[in-house]
Amino acid sequence: MIYNTGTISINGNTATGTGTNWTAPASQVRVSQTIIVLSNPVQMFQITAINSGTSLTVTPAASPALSGQKYGILVTDSLSVDGLAQSMSQFINEYDENIGAWETFASTSANQLVTVTINGTSLSIPAIGGLARKGANSDITELKGLTTALSIAQGGTGAKTAADARSNLGLGSSAVKDIGTNSGNVMEVGSFGLGITLDGSSFAVPLGSNETTGFGYWSSAAGGGVMPGTWQVGFNIKGGGAVGAQMILAAYSVSPRAIIRCRASSTAWSSNAELYHSMNTTKASDGTLKAASPVIRIVKSQGENQRTDIDEEGFSWAGNGTANAEAEGVLITRQDVGVYAISGAVRLASSGWQLLAPMDPGGMGELGVVEAEQDSGGVITIKLYRLKYSINASGEIERGKGELIDVPVNSWIDVRLDMPTDSIWNQKQAEAINAMEEADAKGLDFTLPH
């Protein structure tokens, strides 16, 4: 093998190299090796000392001096035991110098520079675990040197701007909003009291901080219930400050009934105002709404009746007519022309309206005169008479009743009742209330029965 890196100049017994590294272990340059200088004529020298990577002592002395010549050192010219030992020694020295550095290079994850010697030249290189940590990215928290943004799969956002990053991550406009109650903020649970669950200690939620705004449940035992012994669920809204206006909207927990009550500042609560809707009103045969509790609608027969709305939602057939949910268990029978019997109720309603004559759906008024009576057995008899008009002695028109007639097929008779305490409806309500109170006492969730 020949070492011929760079050029050589020899002045006397001193050889000077340009671009050489004669002390590098891998060069295998040793004392006693032969140097062939490609001058004209070619000259040969023997190395007597290695002074540095660019300086040798040679023999014989060069005369005249040589400058910038190509050359070759026969590094394998001594294939002797001694030469082999020296070669192995040089390889082992190079290994010893670099093995620790290369081990650090391959195994460390720290941001560390490792010094290795290559052909006698020392180099500092980053360990393999810190190759990405250079310059501004030495702490791996910034990648300013990247020209392509890291994808989401690579742990990045796939974008170079905050807006594009939010878009790629599927973040909406709320991502740049603060949480709080100021204008433009995103509300969190508890803002203005929303999301707070009020306890059932009192239906009349006290005035105080805005935390009294929220959702809750109340018992009529605490005051203000729709009906005695019932529970209500709903929400309370209170204005700002310690004496703001306040409103409660609460629903009866075992039937679709609801009330609203309010107060201004620190004044007393208003009375409960019940809200009317399709479940606590009935639509009379002429389409007008009437407050309703247990209500039935009487017709001549189901087959002959022409009104498709007589058994609307909340009403079901009960013989010769329909009954709403609160009147479940009532039976209506036709006894004779214009005579109908009602069984299963206690009486006609003890307050409010009781009877509504059949009405013309076209708005022309009543289609008859209706009367009711109740026998000792509790059966209520409803009779319908034809309207009869006559002129009295004073020349005035008087309205009276003529012969009995059946309910016209385009109308019905409305009857409002009182039901027994053990009616199907009342039993269901009592069972629901008891079950809810038992569940509440045990701290269990309660589901209303269907």
Residue 411 lies in a domain: yes
Q: Give the strand order in the sheet containing 197-198.
A: 197-198, 214-219, 231-238, 246-252, 258-263, 273-274
CB neighbour list of residue 395: distance below 8 Å, 6 or more residues apart: none
Average pLDDT over residues 402-430: 90
- Distance from CA of residue 410 to its chain's centroid? 53
Q: Spell 370-392 as b/e; 16+ CB within 10 A means b.
A: bebeeeeeebbebbbbeeeeeee
Domain endpoint, select from 225, 251, 274? 274
- Are residues 221 and 324 both part of a single domain? no
Q: How far is CA 282 from CA 254, 259, 291, 309, 341, in A?
A: 20, 18, 6, 11, 21
Residue 175 lies in a domain: no
- Are residues 239 and 321 both part of a single domain? no
- Are residues 259 and 286 both part of a single domain? no
Task: Give the 3-state secondary structure of residue 90.
Answer: helix
- Distance from CA of residue 161 to its chain's centroid? 26
- Are residues 255 and 379 both part of a single domain? no
Domain endpoint, select from 239, 257, 274? 274
* DSSP symbol at 41: S
The amino acid that residue 144 corresponds to is: K
pLDDT tens digits, one per residue of 255-271:
677 878 787 766 777 77
Instruction: Tell me which residue of 239, 231, 232, 181 sits closest to 212, measured CA to CA.
Output: 239
> What's the whole-model pTM score?
0.48
Residue 449 lies in a domain: no
- Are residues 222 and 319 both part of a single domain? no
Instruction: Tell me which residue of 249, 247, 243, 248 sits closest to 209, measured CA to CA.
Output: 243
- Do 423 and 431 meet the contact criterion of CB atoms below 8 Å apart? no
- Other Cβ atoms less than 10 A from the Cβ of 339: the count is 14
- Are residues 325 and 357 both part of a single domain? yes
Q: Looking at the 3D structure of the chain, how many domains does it have?
A: 3
Average pLDDT over residues 174-196: 75
Structural element, H or E, at residue 442: helix 424-442
Residue 186 lies in a domain: no
pLDDT tens digits, one per residue of 19-76:
999 988 778 888 999 999 999 899 999 999 999 999 999 999 998 999 999 999 988 7
- Are residues 350 and 385 both part of a single domain? yes
- Are residues 411 and 291 both part of a single domain? yes
Q: Is 94 left (phi over 0), alpha (psi -120 to 50) or beta?
A: alpha
Q: Which residue has the higher pLDDT, 154 or 68?
A: 68
Instruction: Tell me which residue of 114, 112, 103, 123 sits closest to 24, measured CA to CA.
Output: 123
* Separation of alpha carbons 253 and 251, rounded Å: 6
Q: What is the pLDDT of residue 380?
A: 95
pLDDT band at 92 (very low <50, low <70, confident <90, very high): low
The amino acid that residue 154 corresponds to is: Q
Structure tokens at 398: 């008087």
* Separation of alpha carbons 294 and 332, rounded Å: 14
Most distant CA atoms of the chain, gap in Å: 171
Residue 134 lies in a domain: no
Q: What is the pLDDT of residue 135?
A: 53
- Are residues 360 and 311 both part of a single domain? yes
- Are residues 308 and 367 both part of a single domain? yes
* Separation of alpha carbons 156 and 228, rounded Å: 63
* Separation of alpha carbons 36 and 73, rounded Å: 6
Residue 211 lies in a domain: yes
- Are residues 415 and 287 both part of a single domain? yes
Q: What is the pLDDT of residue 190?
A: 64
Residue 62 lies in a domain: yes
- Do 120 and 27 meet the contact criterion of CB atoms below 8 Å apart? yes
- Are residues 316 and 382 both part of a single domain? yes
Structure tokens at 75: 């590094």
Q: What residues make up the domain containing 376?
A: 281-419
CB neighbour list of residue 432: distance below 8 Å, 6 or more residues apart: 253, 254, 448, 449
Domain endpoint, select from 78, 106, 141? 78
* Separation of alpha carbons 305 and 296, rounded Å: 15
Q: Which residue has the higher pLDDT, 138 or 25?
A: 25
Please report where in the chains the tokens 């190395």 appear, as a residue.
47
Residue 250 lies in a domain: yes
